[in-house]
Structure 1
Amino acid sequence: MKILGEDERRTAEQALRSYLPKSSKVYGALFGMNRNKPSTLEVVVDTWPDFKSIILRPDLKNERVSDYTKTVTLFCTDAQVLKRMIAEENAIDWTTYFMIGGFDITLAPMLKEVAASRGVNVRGFTLVHLLTLSDPHDLPDYRDSAENRISSLNESHVDMVNKTWKFGGDEKGYKFITHLISNFPTCCMLDETGQPVSWMLLYDYCALGILYTKPEHRGKGYAKALIASMSKKLHDEGYPVYCFIEEDNDASLRLFKNMGFTEDPSYRVAWFEFNY
């Protein structure tokens, strides 16, 4: 097992491109790290340079690591290699609460088996669709007729976003939203007074998310305008353009598919909690 340095992380990012979209979450996280976005993660692989398993885990040497939910992200081309890393080589700290986020659901039985062998309880947190968009420039122009109403969020908007985010509302959520708005692209629709009424952020693994429109402003096409604007911006800057949609969020699934996002219908990803 090897912890990757800066140059090796760049090489790993390129290697993961050939496994897109299934490698999207690890690839997106590395994409951000390799462009100097602040991160509290370290990257480990089974072997180098020809790795079969890659894990992004909290870097316990980072003083900011306790500010965020402890989340592990992983991708593998060989489940037995991954199992060896997490079961025998201590690639994951099994002694405290953590999540494994955005993993291939077919790995769930193996993860549950290893957790059981460690005496660790585990439960499913959410099951999601992985959707990607290959060329955002094919999107219709959904922008509002007053183009200057599309803008970016700033730190004065953190509390508003945190309070409306399904997984926010607390101090960790506030710190996480601050991190995203300060370091990653955002997009919002302003009302006549210059206040955001609809917005979209980018997670630190470079997935579109946290899309929200205030109830009194729904039905005006703002979400479509923001998705189109953000997708084109990301594509032009070299970012992957993808998102995760929760299994029961039919409205969002229809919205993104109607805008040209596609998925492999046989593939699902999941978030699991351990030591909850």
Structure 2
Amino acid sequence: MLVLNCATKLLTLEKVLKGHFPESLKVYGAVMNINRGNPFQKEVVLDSWPDFKAVITRRQKEAETDNLDHYTNGYAVFYKDVRAYRRLLEERDVINWDQVFHIQGLQSELYDISKAVASSKRLDVKLSSSKAVRLSVVSAPPDTSLL
């Protein structure tokens, strides 16, 4: 996992993502906002640079969070290789699995891979909306009151 925080590299990433529309649109929008002042306190995580295969945008670790607010705990995903996306999800500290969140992206394998990784962690994943190419996944930590 690599957190991309160099302004020049973030501008380059924005241009590269623009060449992968419409699939990269969710991540492109987040990177564009980061490059224009970062009002939503996001950061970019990639598998590698400059030849990345998967990129995830997420809330900065330093930003104040509410573990029950899936809107502010949103992730945007774009990948060129679904296996690279899966490896990023499986890495420690890429996703905060202890909070409620959304994973959003425009690629068909997004739900299946996200669900498989969450299931391997014994988490419940629910499809919250599905349209032609838009997919949003919600994950919630297990209910420990039943244990």
Tell me, yes or no, whether TM beats 0.5: yes
With over 3 angstroms needed to count, the CA separation of the structure-2 counterparts of 1:74 and 1:44, relative to structure 1, is same
| 1:39-188 aligned within 5 A | 39-63=40-64, 65-66=65-66, 69-129=72-132
Report deviation, 1:91.
1.4
Provide the C-alpha distance between the structure 1 equivalents of 2:39 and 2:129, rounded to a whole number of angstroms: 26
Q: Which has the higher contact order (CA 8 A, sep 6+)?
A: 1
Q: Which has the higher helix share?
A: 1
Provide the C-alpha distance between the structure 2 equivalents of 1:102 and 1:4, rounded to a whole number of angstroms: 19
Aligned residues: 137
Report deviation, 1:88.
3.0
AA of the residue aligned to 1:79: V
With over 3 angstroms needed to count, the CA separation of the structure-2 counterparts of 1:81 and 1:89, relative to structure 1, is farther
Provide the C-alpha distance between the structure 1 equivalents of 2:79 and 2:43, rounded to a whole number of angstroms: 17
TM-score, structure 1 normalization: 0.47
Provide the C-alpha distance between the structure 2 equivalents of 1:82 and 1:37, rounded to a whole number of angstroms: 24
Provide the C-alpha distance between the structure 1 equivalents of 2:83 and 2:36, rounded to a whole number of angstroms: 32
Report deviation, 1:121.
0.3
AA of the residue aligned to 1:127: S
Larger Rg, first or second structure (1 or 2): 1
Q: Secondary structure at the match of 1:8?
A: helix
Unaligned runs of 5+ in 2: 142-147
Residue 7 of structure 1 pairs with residue 37 of structure 2: no
Provide the C-alpha distance between the structure 2 equivalents of 1:2 and 1:54, rounded to a whole number of angstroms: 10
Q: Deviations over 1:198-219 (max 9, x none)?
A: xxxxxxxxxxxxxxxxxxxxxx
AA of the residue aligned to 1:16: L
Unaligned runs of 5+ in 1: 130-267
TM-score, structure 2 normalization: 0.84
- Give the root-mean-square deviation of aligned CA atoms: 1.8
Runs of 4+ in structure 1 off by over 6 angstroms are none
Provide the C-alpha distance between the structure 2 equivalents of 1:42 and 1:32, rounded to a whole number of angstroms: 10
Check whether the contact 1:73–1:103 (CA below 8 A) recurs between aligned residues: no
AA of the residue aligned to 1:53: A
Q: Deviations over 1:3-40 (max 9, x none)?
A: 11122211111111111111111111111221224122
Corresponding position of 1:202: none
Percent of aligned positions that are identical = 33
